[in-house]
Amino acid sequence: MISRLLSPSVRRFFGVNSTATTAPAAAHPTSRHPTRPTHYKLLDRPGSLAPLLAALNRVDEVFLDTEADNMFHYKVRLCLLQFYVDGEVYLVDALAPDLDLTPLWDRLAHVHLVMHGSDFDLRLLHDRCGFRAKSIFDTMLAAQLLGRQRIGLAALLEEHFGITADKSGQKANWSRRPIVPKLLDYAALDVWHLPGLRDILTRGLADLDRLDWLDQQCRAQIQAGTEGFAPATEHDWRIGRSERLRGLGQPVLHAIWHWRETTAEQIDTPPFKVCNNDLLLDIAYAAEDGQTAEAILTQVNLGKRHDRLIPALSAALRRGFETDPSTLPRRPGRDAGRRSLNQSELARLDRIKEDRDRIATQLAIEATLIANRAQLSHLAQIPSDLDDILLPWQASLLRSIPSLKSD
């Protein structure tokens, strides 16, 4: 399993045999590899995928990134796909009219993918395209397991290749057409150094005997990706500090949260660009404190859309004032199989956390990589569930700690 994550040169160095299922790395000699791609192929017309599909048929490993428009539209869309395949960069316009991507998904499902920070990408590709990766090497996960403090792609490119990346593309509107050359250059660079970065991180993980840890993390990432983005529920309006609301603030928050959601969908913009959560909560708490709707509205500023949006907000606010809190959807009850920790379990939780933190310090990695707060709380109640809630590498680190022994 570990050999699947190694490039051919690293396999030879460590004496790992290749198998038929191992994904060979693309030739990428760093000494001769230009700092930035000198050219790329933009595929944005019907039938233009042919050269990419032909390249995919020649390889078992692909370097992939995506760009989406979640900062500019209500429903996130896949806008651009970046590929480094067999020495060439291909940029696929996922919004191009009449460009059928079906053959692309069929081929990608059978190759090994190298990505950076793949969680969002895998969820997006699953939700919008029904895609599930066969296997991945996530360079961000690899950097985390090496204890790197800076794990963003731009930081890693600067550290290992001396490249100062233009970060403007991170906030760009990738749905705007045509895509300007500056953004295409940015997109191409995102995959250009992934082969070299993968090899560097692989060597580091091999030195620390953590390649299997990465394999497990990547498999879990693929599985999480198939869950897609969290579906909407009737309790999504319960944001931030809303759990402290007891009276009128609850129906007010319920009404204005739904106003924001409806407005965002109507004008096709992310909800936070209508107004942020802090404003919604400030309005709800003002109602809770006895302020009138009129007084609250005089304190509201919706920015450049204020005159256009304030009438609908005013109507929603008044509906909230007129709603009986008891008619709202009931807060989800606690899982019947779960309960609050008792004093003995709280004490055990503190000891488990101390043991976890000590191990993390010894390994020079972030403690939550081993187990997060929710997992620690679960173990404080049911230590025998160790192997059920943690990955094997995580469980192996905690198996012998004193705090998980029977009291």
Statement: residue 126 has pLDDT above 60: yes
Residues 278-305 have pLDDT tens digits of 999 999 999 999 999 999 999 999 999 9
Q: CB of 85 within 8 A of CB of 43?
A: no
pLDDT at 407: 56
The string of pLDDT tens digits covering residues 236-282 is: 999 999 999 999 999 999 999 999 999 999 999 999 999 999 999 99
Is residue 31 predicted with pLDDT exceeding 80? no
Residue ranges of the chain assigned to CATH 1.10.150.80? 240-327
In the prediction, which pLDDT does 28 show? Answer: 46
Average pLDDT over residues 368-391: 96
30-40: average pLDDT: 81
Q: What percent of the chain has pLDDT over 70?
A: 90
Residues 38-65, mean pLDDT to the nearest whole number: 97
Query: Starting from the edge strand earliest in sequence, which strands make up the sheet with 135-138, in order?
Result: 41-43, 88-93, 78-85, 61-68, 112-115, 135-138
- Can you tell me the mean pLDDT for 166-180? 91
Tell me what pLDDT residue 165 has.
78
Q: What is the pLDDT of residue 393?
A: 98
Digit-coded pLDDT (tens) for 194-240: 999 999 999 999 999 999 999 999 999 999 999 999 999 999 999 99
Say yes or no to pLDDT of 11 above 60.
Answer: no
Mean pLDDT of the chain: 91
> Is the model's pLDDT at 375 over the cut of 60?
yes
Between residues 178 and 25, which one has the greater pLDDT?
178
Q: How far apart are CA 106 and CA 100, in angstroms?
A: 12
The pLDDT score that the predictor gives to residue 1 is 45
Architecture field, domain 240-327 = Orthogonal Bundle (1.10)
What is the pLDDT confidence band of residue 166, given thresholds at 50, 70 and 90?
A: confident
pLDDT classification of 337: cutoffs 50, 70, 90: low
Minimum mean pLDDT among 158-162, 165-169, 173-177, 254-258: which range? 165-169
- Produce one character per residue of 155-189: b if its CB has 16 or more CB atoms within 10 Å, e if not: ebbeeebebebeeebeebebbeeebeeebbebbbb
Name the band, by pLDDT with cuts 50, 70 and 90, for residue 22: very low
Q: What is the pLDDT of residue 340?
A: 86
Surface-to-core class of residue 237, CB atoms within 10 Å of its CB (0-12 exposed, 13-18 middle, 19+ buried): buried
376: pLDDT strictly greater than 50:
yes
The arithmetic mean of pLDDT across residues 364-381, rounded, is 97
Element (H, E) at 62: strand 61-68
Bigger pLDDT: 194 vs 34: 194
Single-letter residue type at 168: S
Amino acid (1-letter code) at residue 370: I
2-225 belongs to which CATH class?
alpha beta
Choice between 401 and 23, residue whose per-residue pLDDT is larger: 401
Cβ atoms 360, 346 nearer than 8 A:
no
As annotated, the residues of the chain forming the CATH 3.30.420.10 domain(s) are 2-225
CA distances from 205 to 153, 198, 201 (A): 18, 10, 6
The pTM score is 0.87
At residue 335, the pLDDT reads: 57
Q: CA nearest 81: which of 70, 67, 71?
A: 67
